[in-house]
């Protein structure tokens, strides 16, 4: 079971499966106002940049990490996995031209971060080789097996063994709420169920099966749905795009 934690008013989720310092943030505990209330981590929204900066300070303080150690990428719903080094850090609002939906590193004090608002956040940790990963997996990324690419790159770059890697699939939109047209069902047929003229798609199980096929055995899945719990999490669908963004963060300390 994922565990809800509160530090200085910031509410976030953790997985007992991941031994490295980490968090799946919620929308609670920040200082943003209006439709971004309160813990909005979206850097490119119309939110006041000073409020966003303070939100980052709050979550980083909660995790006892430095905001300048964060590394993000421009997420494009692809399957590129970026190997992150210390020189890639720089913190909030650093100009970033790197396009990647997966990040991996074995460098301590480098905080990997991916963003979601219904898509699937996945955190990875190999406690034997001391390697971590963060993955953003929407349906397009799942079709391209982004999480499998992250596992392969952890193997090839850091000599990780998949059976040693722990995985946590965080809060995202669940099958109960993810109604799609046939375009999604056509590329994820094993995880789609007909629902009238639409389809209900299970993104969590799709990622779970891709992890198993990659050799990962220890996987924990959040039972929370961002759409059902839109009072706790940002949901793009529920708010029709008028929303903030949450993050999944992991760091070797």
Which alpha helices (H) appear in 134-202, and where do they start and end? Answer: 139-143, 146-158, 182-187
* Average pLDDT of span 70-97: 87
pLDDT at 44: 80
Per DSSP, what are the bridge partners of residue 57? Answer: none
**Contact yes or no for 27/234 (Cβ under 8 A):** yes
Looking at the 3D structure of the chain, how many domains does it have? 1
Interaxial angle between packed helices 203-213 and 146-158, expressed in degrees from 0 to 180 and rounded to the nearest 10: 30
The size of the chain, in residues, is 253
Q: Is 185 inside a domain boundary?
A: no
Identify the domain containing residue 155 by its residue range: 3-173+203-251
The residues near 20 (Cβ < 8 Å, ≥ 6 apart) are 125, 127, 132, 250, 251, 252, 253
In a domain, 155, yes or no: yes
Would you state the pLDDT for residue 95? Answer: 66
- List the structure tokens of 179: 């109604």
pLDDT at 96 over 80: no
Residue 189 lies in a domain: no
Residue 180 inside a domain? The answer is no
Q: Return the CATH number at 141.
A: 3.60.140.10
Question: Residue 45: pLDDT band by 50, 70, 90 thresholds?
Answer: confident
Residue 51 has pLDDT above 80, yes or no: yes
**Average pLDDT for 96-109:** 92
Mean pLDDT value across residues 61-85: 95
pLDDT digit string, tens, across residues 200-214: 999 999 999 999 999
In a domain, 197, yes or no: no
Residue at 48 is within a domain: yes
pLDDT tens digits along 142-196: 999 999 999 999 999 999 999 999 999 999 999 999 999 999 999 999 999 999 9
Query: What is d(CA 41, CA 233) in angstroms, rounded to the nearest whole number?
Result: 12
Please report whether residue 196 resides in a domain. Answer: no
Predicted TM-score of the model (pTM): 0.98
Residue 191 lies in a domain: no
């Amino acid at each position: 079971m994922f565990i809800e934690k509160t530090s200085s008013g910031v509410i976030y989720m953790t997985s007992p499966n991941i031994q490295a310092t980490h968090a799946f943030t919620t929308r609670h505990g920040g200082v943003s106002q209006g439709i971004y209330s309160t813990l909005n981590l979206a850097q490119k929204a119309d939110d006041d940049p000073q409020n966003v900066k303070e939100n980052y300070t709050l979550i980083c303080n909660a995790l006892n990490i430095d905001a300048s150690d964060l590394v993000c990428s421009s997420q494009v719903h692809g399957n590129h996995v970026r190997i992150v080094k210390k020189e890639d850090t720089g913190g909030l609002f650093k100009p970033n031209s790197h396009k990647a939906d997966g990040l991996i590193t074995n460098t301590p004090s480098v905080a990997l971060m991916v963003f979601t608002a219904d898509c699937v956040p996945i955190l990875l940790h190999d406690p034997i080789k001391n390697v971590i990963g963060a993955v953003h997996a929407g349906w397009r990324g799942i079709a391209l097996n982004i999480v499998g690419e992250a596992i392969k790159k952890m193997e090839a770059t850091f000599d990780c063994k998949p059976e040693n890697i722990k995985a946590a699939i965080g809060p995202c939109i669940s099958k109960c709420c993810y109604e799609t047209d046939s375009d999604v069902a056509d590329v994820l047929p094993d995880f789609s169920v007909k629902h009238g003229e639409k389809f209900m798609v299970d993104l969590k199980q799709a990622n779970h099966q891709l992890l198993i096929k990659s050799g990962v055995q220890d996987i924990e899945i959040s039972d929370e749905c961002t759409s059902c719990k839109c009072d706790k999490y940002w949901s793009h669908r529920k708010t029709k795009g008028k929303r903030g963004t949450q993050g999944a963060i992991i760091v070797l300390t």
